[in-house]
Structures are given as C-alpha cells and as structure tokens.
Structure 1
Amino acid sequence: MKTTTKITAGAAAAVALAAAPGAIATGVQAYEGRSAADGTTSAQGSATQGSTGSTGSADAGSSADATQTPQWTRRNVGNGYGYESYGSGGTGTGSAGSSTGSGSSGVSQTADGSLVSGTPITSMKGVVLIDTVLDGGEGKGTGMVLTSDGEVLTNYHVVDGSTSITVTDTVSGKTYQASVVGHDETHDIAVLQLKDASGLATVNLSQTTAQVGAAVTAVGQGGGQGTLYQVSGTVSALGQSITAQDSSSASSAEKLTGLIQTTADVVPGYSGGPLLDTDGQVIGIDTAASSSGDIDGYAVPITEAKSIADQIVAGTRTATVHIGPRAALGVQVTDSGSSASGYGQGYGQSYGQGYGRGSGQSYGQGYDPQSGSTNSTTSTSGAAVAEVVSGSAAAKAGITAGSTITAVDGQSVASAAALSSELSDDYPGTSVKVTWTDASGTAHTATVTLGTSTVN
C-alpha cells in the first residue's frame, strides 16, 4: 500500500489544530509529532487546511535524494514550499531544504511558492472553488455541484477542521456560505449545502467505470490561487490502495482503497475536483497525488462517492457516515509529557529543478505549558490537557489544564490521538464516562454530556 499526499491547498495556521480529523470534531486539539513511514517524525507546531506552499516555519536542513520512497501528506505545514512541506514545532524555526533531483515537468511554482499544474481555465459548469477558515489559517480546494439548490460534493479533508466555508461558483462568480451536511472520513467524502442557492448548473456524472489507458482530465483550484486549472493524463491503474498521511494529525495514517490512478499531474488545490472522461463526464473525485518523481494522481470513483453522498443527504448514519456536526469535549490536548507548542523534527520539501527533501530537528524535550520550562521527563500516559474551553463539557466535569485524560468509557487512552479516536464518531448530546488524573495526581471519573463542536 502506497503512502500518499492529499491535495488541498492552504496557508499556514498559527497552531496545530488537532490530533486527527476526529480530534477537531470532538473539540480535542493536539500538538503532537507523528512518525512517518520512513521513520522521520513530523512536528505539529503549525498547521494548515490543505497543502500548497504554506507560510509557516519549517525545520529543514540538508536535502536528500528525491528518489526516496515518497512521503505523502494531506496538508502543508511550514515554510518549505513543497508538495508536502510540513512541520515545525512552535519553538523551532528554519528554512526549507534545498531541492535537487528530477521532478515532473508539468509542475511549476508561482512567486509565492505555490505549485501549479496544467492550463488555467476561466470556469467550468458545476465546478466550484472552496475556501475555508481554520483556527489561525485557511485552506483551499474544489467541489462539484450535485443539485441546482446547492448540494456540493467534495473531499472531507478539504473542509476538515474548518470554522467557516465559502464556496464560489466558477460560472457566475457568485459566492455562498456553506455548511457540512455530513461526511465519511473513511472514504474522504463530504457533502456541503450552500446557503440560499438556486438555479446552479450541475456536473454530469458518468454511470460507467474508468478503463485503464483511457484519456482523462483533472480539474481543480491548482495551487489554491482562486483559479481553475485542468491537466490531462491517462488512467494507469484501478482499484489502488494508498495511505494518506495528515501532517496536522498525530493519528494513524488513513487508508483509502479502490482508487483510480492516473498520470495527471494534480497538485495542491485539486482536491474535491472532477476527474473527467473524454465526454466531459465525471468518473472520479480528485483526492491525492504522489510527492516525488513523476506525479501519479488518485481519485475516488464517482459511483462510490455519489453513493456515499446519497446516504449523507438522506441522513443515514452508518459506522462511517456522520451526519451533521461533531461532538465536543472541549479540551486542547497533547501526548503526556510533550509540547503544546510543537516539538519533534520538522520536515520540509521544496521545489527547485525538481523534488527535494530537507529535514531538521526543531525541539527534543518536553515542554511545560504552565511554566514555560523544558524538561525531559515523561508523566502519566494519556492525553495531557493544555487548555479547557470555558463552559464546555470538560469544564463542567471539573477537568482542568494540567490534567491527563487516561480513559473514556473504560477504554484506556494512551495518547492525544487515542482520545480523538475514542470520541471522533460521537454525536452532540452523547454521554461518556471520562477518567483523568489532575495536576496533583488525584484520579477522577465523571460522566459528561458532549457538546457541539464549532469546527467541522
């Protein structure tokens, strides 16, 4: 199974928003690095929704051979304007590693470091630009109009962690505020509803499956520049499995299966856009791309995406389909003994002649958010609470900053990511039993009623 990069575009955020998409939804914020497939650790001191060249700070040192096994990521973090430039702890700064090696000739870099690919087009019927606001940052992606009254299909990672969503119809130029009707994180699908929309043109969905060797065109907001791009290619394989790793997430990597693989040079910002056949019908939804060497694009088959969208619109809850807003516990957490400001190794990838890699150490010790002092000790295993939202479920239960959450409903919680996982599928109003140890070492257990998350 390949490791891949999600292709949403975004600008740098002030802090890492969450340990996982579920963490965002549950109101659990985390600041934690994660081990990549090649053994490096990414730091989460700054984060974005998406992955175009971003404007945070990235730890990077020497460049490495671009022919290494590609590291893919959903969003960009850091200042290395790279296909997957991510990383720096809040205490680490640096610049992107120099770029060497050969890259895909179809990709270029704009003056602000964003990657673009293909040919710009003024508009396309049924295709919309999606702009999101995060906690201290922003993200950009693409979507497809399913109904004239404003149901829009996109990737969940395009809107994951957003606090507001603005959608622009590329034909009329009109903008709309949007809400998330529901999502399926497992298959990376979400449906949006545009406010006060009517008379919108819709995309044409194909009823047939893709064929290897067939010519295709990918369309999306390449580079997050507010402009549609289209890039051609061919279908190179079907039924592909990839692992999509989220640079702003400390959770385990997400596995996607049954994807269409193409030679189209899709870049950040194409996420959620259509993959078209020669008749202009949608056969897939652009979702991911390789990060080194010649680019391989990956798309969720439209038949699968539409089936999930239909479940969402019908309000059908399943083990993977979540309807409406997430639940919120109301805490910011990190792994016990680690830094709420970011730590670990930074990792950046930049573009010069082709694809290059750079990595560097940003922070190696624990950090005490209360005193500001560093230490190298390890405290109780669990999710360390850095901040509690006033009036939240956690606050009402008596959980305070400096506590460590160790279990939910009797299930042990060993990390911030584990807490996110335990809460990610819950709905507002759900009662859960939370066990924690306060700063003095005293253990507590209380049943809390989860609130409603303010982020998607």
Structure 2
Amino acid sequence: MEENTAPVVPAYAVTSTETAPPLAPDAAPGRARRRRTTLFLVGGVTALALCIGGGGVALGVGIAAADNVAAISALEQRASDTYGSAQSGTFQPTSPFGGSSGTGTGTGTATSTSTTATAATDAQKLGVVTILSDLYYSETSQAAGTGIVLTSSGQILTNNHVVEGATSIEVTVESTGETYRAEVVGTDATDDIAVLQLETSSGKAVSGLTAASLDDDTLAFGDAITSVGNAEGMGDLVAAAGTVTALDENITVGNEGTGTSESLTGLIQIDADVVSGDSGGPLVDAEGEVAGVVTAASSGTADITGFAIPIATAMTIAEQILAGDESGNVSIGAPAFLGVQLATTQGTAGVTLGGAIAGTPAASAGLVAGDVITDMDGVTITATDTLSASDVLSAAIAAHEVGDSVTLGYTTAAGVASTVVVTLMAGPAA
C-alpha cells in the first residue's frame, strides 16, 4: 500500500448549545464546512479516527454532567476514572476509543479523490434512520449518527460508538419521518457494532417498517459505492458517491493520553465524502444494497478516505446479539449502574464520592459528596497493585445484573460509618 499522509477523522457528532460553534447549515446539498477531530500519522501510514468527529470532548465510559467527576458503572473503565466536565449540546463524538492516533494496513491503493455529496433520494432513504442520543444523564449533551433498518419490527444496526454512553435514544425513520425511542439490545464495543430495538413513545411494538436490502455479494476493488448518512448530525440524509479503493483494511485507533488502543479489522476502504454523523449508516453498492456499515474516515485534506465494516461481518455480530449470546466481545442489554460520581482526589482505601447523579440508586440512597464507599456486600473496596479502588468498585458492580440489590458500606465526611441497600438500575449504553 502506498503511504498516505492525510490525517484522518471519525464519523458521528456532538454539539453544544453553549460553547460549540454552529454546525453546517441545514439542508445544504454539499458539505462545505466540516468540523473534524484530526488524528495523526503513525509509522508512516494513515492514522485513523472513527466517523464521529469534531469539536467535542473525548467521551469516556462513565462520564457524568458534573465538573471533575466521573460516574462509576458496570461499564469497562478504559484507563482513567476522571473525565472532566461534560460539554452541553449535540456533538459529533470523538473516537469511541478515545482515539488520538492510529495505523492502517490492507490491500489496494491508499489514494483517494474528492467526491460529491448530495441530498439523499427517496430510494436512498429507504431502510435508513438518523439517531440522536442523550449522553450520561445530561439534558444538554447529545450525540448524533445513522443506522440501518434490519427488520419491519424495528431492529436497527449501527456502530457501537454512535450509542456509547447513551441514556436515551431517539430514532427517526427517514423515509416516513416517524420518530421512535430505542433501547440497546446489545453491543460489541471491540468490533464497533450495536443493535437497537425501536418502540413507540408509549412503549408499544413497532411494525411495518421498510427494511434495508442487504448485499449477499462481495465488493471488489474499483466497485462503485455510495455512503448515506446523517451528515454533520443535522438530521438530513446526504449521499456521497465513490469507489472501493482497498479491501481487508486493518486500522488501529490509539489514545495518546492513556497509551491504550483498539483495532478494527477487515474493513472496506472507500474514497467517498464521509463526514461526522455518517457513522452507522449504509455503504450501498451499485445495486442499491447495503454492503457495509460506515465507520471511519480521513480528514484535513480535500481528498477523503472512508472505511466501512463489511455487512457480512456486521450481521454475524448482529445475529449473535439478537440471539442473546453474551459471549466473546458481545454484551447484551444495559449494564448495571449505581450512579455515584468520583471526587477528583482519591485514596487507596475506599472510593471518595464527588456526588450522586439525580434519579439513580446512589441518589435515592442518600449518598453525597464526601462519602467514602468502603465495601460492597461485605467485600472491602481498596486499591490493588494493578487496579485503583474505583476500578475495584466498578468491577464489583459489573458482576451484577440490572435489578440486583447490593449492600454498600460507607463512611460520611463526618466519619460516621453506615450501610445502605440499593437496587442497581440500567446504566448508559456500553
């Protein structure tokens, strides 16, 4: 593969009504203004970000809408328990893996050409949805992306990073304009796939949706394709035509701050104009069938290189999720959640709280800033050689299911020891 020196970007959106610059004008036929999160080249090959880009903070597991605190949940804590304040608004999230740099390998060419993006046609809207999620119990922090209708009863395929951290999800079927709420059926964070289930506002089952037509062939180098997505998170589908420029691409997205990284393998490389908000949307072949799930893209130059998960790969994972098979990298349903927030300063014995998120078990139990959780179900919460005390607490919660009751031992800021029984609730999507 030839060396490509263009930095690269993600494909879904987070905006702010208070601090973030405005997004591109609504209903614009092209994509003149892009807000991107740029990654850098590593080892002389293209660095990659997921298709979520621009302007927002990096979203980590357990972030809460409070300054200098983090929420403890059963979600995997990537590397740090402190995330800083959550920004308000709707943002194209940065890399779901906290990406700062990455590499790509595969077969084909690394070159790309500028392509044209236009408003999606009625035919291109069939089987495609736009997704808007509230994040981490914040009423002003949201993420936007795209999804693919799998069944007439409202099962939706998308990227995990589109819904990661979501505490409520709104989905609009673009061919009809109908809006539904959605629950996460399951996720595969490693392979960046999630399945949602739509329901009406009253919780009733959905029926009669037009499902996308899935490709049963294999794309080849040079094939014509079109990316269809919720460009810049504006809620209007945009189609970007291009070609397949490489197959079986492997990309690594790394976090310079934590030294961790995550990889996606076997991707389709394309030269279509993929931008923030397109994540989770369909990569359509010349026959109008879905050949892939748009996931990542380059940024910073006029020429854009996009990446998509092959639909066969995505559907293998989706079928495992729909079967309820929680093995390998798949998680089913929502994780158990306590709802405490971490103080910025932590010791090794116990977890010092910065507060409790309203409406969660922690808040209902009366836990407040300054309390120190010392044990759970009689097991002491203390740091080990490899885990912080908050990691230990998170792992203890992770061992439980939604609806389980646990007994917490804690000490108040005044030094009074106490216990409380709490029932764990469903937390943000993993």
TM-score where L is the length of structure 2: 0.66
CA shift at 1:386, angstroms?
Answer: 1.0
Give the structure 2 partner of residue 322 of structure 1: 331
Q: 1:200 to 1:395 in 2, by over 3 A?
A: closer
For 1:126, the aligned partner's letter is: G
Give the unaligned 5+ runs of structure 2: 20-55, 65-69, 101-111, 200-204
Query: Is the deviation greater in 401-410 or in 179-188?
Result: 401-410
User: Per-residue CA shift, 1:395-434, capped at 9, x if unaligned?
Assistant: 6888652356699877733286786577557532457798
Asked if structure 1 preserves the Cα contact closer than 8 Å seen for 2:170 and 2:181, the reply is yes
Give the structure 2 partner of residue 112 of structure 1: none
* Alpha-carbon separation, structure 2, partners of 1:152 and 1:415: 37
Pair 1:268 & 2:268 matched: no
User: Per-residue CA shift, 1:429-451, capped at 9, x if unaligned?
Assistant: 45779898875799x89897661
* Alpha-carbon separation, structure 2, partners of 1:422 and 1:17: 28
Give the structure 2 partner of residue 428 of structure 1: 402
For 1:28, the aligned partner's letter is: I
For 1:233, the aligned partner's letter is: G
Pair 1:215 & 2:224 matched: yes
Asked if structure 1 preserves the Cα contact closer than 8 Å seen for 2:91 and 2:142, the reply is no
Give the structure 1 partner of residue 72 of structure 2: 28
Alignment RMSD: 4.5
Greater relative CO (CA pairs within 8 A, separation 6+): 1
Give the structure 1 partner of residue 130 of structure 2: 129
For 2:61, the aligned partner's letter is: P
* Alpha-carbon separation, structure 1, partners of 2:352 and 2:266: 37
* Alpha-carbon separation, structure 1, partners of 2:152 and 2:311: 19
Partner SS state of residue 319, structure 2: helix
For 1:303, the aligned partner's letter is: A
Give the structure 1 partner of residue 355 of structure 2: 387
Asked if structure 2 preserves the Cα contact closer than 8 Å seen for 1:393 and 1:451, the reply is yes
Give the structure 1 partner of residue 106 of structure 2: none
Asked if structure 2 preserves the Cα contact closer than 8 Å seen for 1:336 and 1:383, the reply is no
* Alpha-carbon separation, structure 2, partners of 1:122 and 1:197: 24
Asked if structure 2 preserves the Cα contact closer than 8 Å seen for 1:221 and 1:229, the reply is yes
Asked if structure 2 preserves the Cα contact closer than 8 Å seen for 1:143 and 1:154, the reply is yes
Q: 1:421 to 1:214 in 2, by over 3 A?
A: farther
Pair 1:171 & 2:175 matched: yes
For 1:177, the aligned partner's letter is: R
User: Per-residue CA shift, 1:102-150, capped at 9, x if unaligned?
Assistant: xx9959xxxxxxxxx7111244210111122231222221111111111
Asked if structure 2 preserves the Cα contact closer than 8 Å seen for 1:49 and 1:161, the reply is no
Give the unaligned 5+ runs of structure 1: 36-41, 55-71, 77-82, 85-103, 108-116, 338-378
* Alpha-carbon separation, structure 2, partners of 1:28 and 1:271: 27
* Alpha-carbon separation, structure 2, partners of 1:253 and 1:13: 31
User: Per-residue CA shift, 1:188-234, capped at 9, x if unaligned?
Assistant: 21111111422111111112333233222111011111111111222
CA shift at 1:317, angstroms?
Answer: 1.5
Q: 1:385 to 1:310 in 2, by over 3 A?
A: same
CA shift at 1:336, angstroms?
Answer: 3.0
Asked if structure 1 preserves the Cα contact closer than 8 Å seen for 2:63 and 2:86, the reply is no
TM-score where L is the length of structure 1: 0.63
For 1:222, the aligned partner's letter is: A
* Alpha-carbon separation, structure 1, partners of 2:388 and 2:17: 27
Asked if structure 2 preserves the Cα contact closer than 8 Å seen for 1:5 and 1:244, the reply is no
Q: 1:184 to 1:43 in 2, by over 3 A?
A: closer
* Alpha-carbon separation, structure 1, partners of 2:17 and 2:371: 26
* Alpha-carbon separation, structure 1, partners of 2:176 and 2:187: 27
For 2:263, the aligned partner's letter is: K
* Alpha-carbon separation, structure 1, partners of 2:88 and 2:244: 30
Asked if structure 1 preserves the Cα contact closer than 8 Å seen for 2:97 and 2:262, the reply is no
